[in-house]
Amino acid sequence: MGQLTPPPFRFRIGAHETGEDRRRSLRIGVDYSAAVWQGAGIGRYTRALVGELLRLDRENRYVLIYPAGFPGRPAPFLPHRRHLNHPRLRLRPLPLSDRYQTILWQRLRLPLPVELLCGRLDLFYSPDFVLPPQLMGRRILTIHDLAFLVRPECAVPSLGWYLRRAIPRSIARADLLLADSEHTRRDLIGLLGVPPERVEVLYPGVEPAFRPLERAASEEVRARYGLPERFLLTVGTIEPRKNLPRLLEALSGLPERLRLPLVVVGRPGWLYGESFAAVGRWGLQGQVRFLGFVPQEDLPALYNLALALVYPSLYEGFGLPPLEAMACGTPVLTSNVSSLPEVVGEAAVLVDPADVSSVREGLRRLLEDEELREDLRRAGLERARKFTWERAAGELLRLMEAVAG
């Protein structure tokens, strides 16, 4: 658990390649939809991974496909050339929203092949669970988690119904699946019967901006958000899977001397009202601040300002916030389930997220023991160095060339 060792490369296809084959320039299509429509989560993953891939690979040709929105209602994170610098890159914006794209390709399943938009491809890569119709070429698909199967009570019912149908269809068409963690890889094999040799682990990375900052660099952010001198931080969409009500209950049972304010970063999601109601139920009015969605450029300062990140999620395919907090030198408390122990190794306090007393005891240890926090800070910095987007993009490039070979 403490070591980060990628599994051996299992995927094999076709005959042995010649040197001439390996040097041939590939034409690669990428579904860039999440990057232009989602501010957090898979949107950040796609922007970071594809951006680093384009920086590393100067040989192959790329076509990025994305729904650009309607006139007057553009996608909120539209790409700019300065962020997507590649000598052989073409952008293919579609005049529709991400919702309509999903309806056309996944819900109505209209047989409009992706080649109509970008021409013939050697390979198409989707970083967001599903594949578009495709006539020719290989396909690589990233599955970030199977929360809709493992924790169905934490998903919107209509979304769960859709995912249980759309994702297996795309998995069946993919030549290679990428999982964010070994835990997600095991879920794919055990829950959906995917042959082990068809799944590779591609660990996400942490961006260079997430690092220890000088105090002065963070104070402007503290003042802008009106944050106290000492506080706990949690980051993520406010939904049942993030387990905020149990965290609030655990905080309410701490001795008064240990009860720090909690700052919550993340948009309200499905059933967010339960989390807001828990503030009053446990008498924490005035002690919990909901900041909503925070621009990515403010996150490193927020991690640096926090005494600790508390992240007792019920299930994660990877979990970027603990990694980002460790990279900033911020102590972490997180769950002992799903992929989270795989991410943090021995550099965090691990708790049972379903047991309020376990969460409370972990908080007590973290808040009382300054030496523990310092040990976690050092261990977290070392652990986070193992996860880089350069490493992830290099591995993705290797896999794409092998699959398309």
pLDDT recorded at residue 82 = 65
Reduce the DSSP state of residue 177 to 3 states and report it: strand
pLDDT recorded at residue 23 = 59
Residue 172 buriedness (CB in 10 A; 0-12 / 13-18 / 19+): exposed
If you ran DSSP here, which 8-state letter would residue 228 be given? -
- The residues with which 126 forms a beta bridge, in sequence order, are 141
pLDDT recorded at residue 7 = 45
Reduce the DSSP state of residue 105 to 3 states and report it: helix
pLDDT recorded at residue 157 = 87
Distance CA 405, CA 122 (A): 9
Low-confidence ranges of the chain (pLDDT < 50): 1-3, 5-9, 11-22
- Give the pLDDT confidence of 47-98 residue by residue, as tens digits: 999 999 999 999 999 999 999 998 889 999 987 766 687 889 999 999 999 8
Residue whose token pair is 């799944």: 199
pLDDT recorded at residue 179 = 98
pLDDT recorded at residue 17 = 43
Structure-token pair, residue 380: 């977290």
pLDDT recorded at residue 1 = 41
Distance CA 28, CA 333 (A): 40
Model pTM score: 0.91
pLDDT recorded at residue 81 = 64
Structure-token pair, residue 90: 């073409």
Residue 89 buriedness (CB in 10 A; 0-12 / 13-18 / 19+): middle
From residue 66, give the alpha-carbon distance in Å to each of 85, 96, 122, 159, 281: 17, 9, 19, 21, 43
Reduce the DSSP state of residue 116 to 3 states and report it: helix
- Please write down the HEC assignment for all residues of 4-66: CCCCCCCCCCCCCCCHHHHHCCCEEEEECHHHHHCCCCHHHHHHHHHHHHHHHCCCCEEEEEE
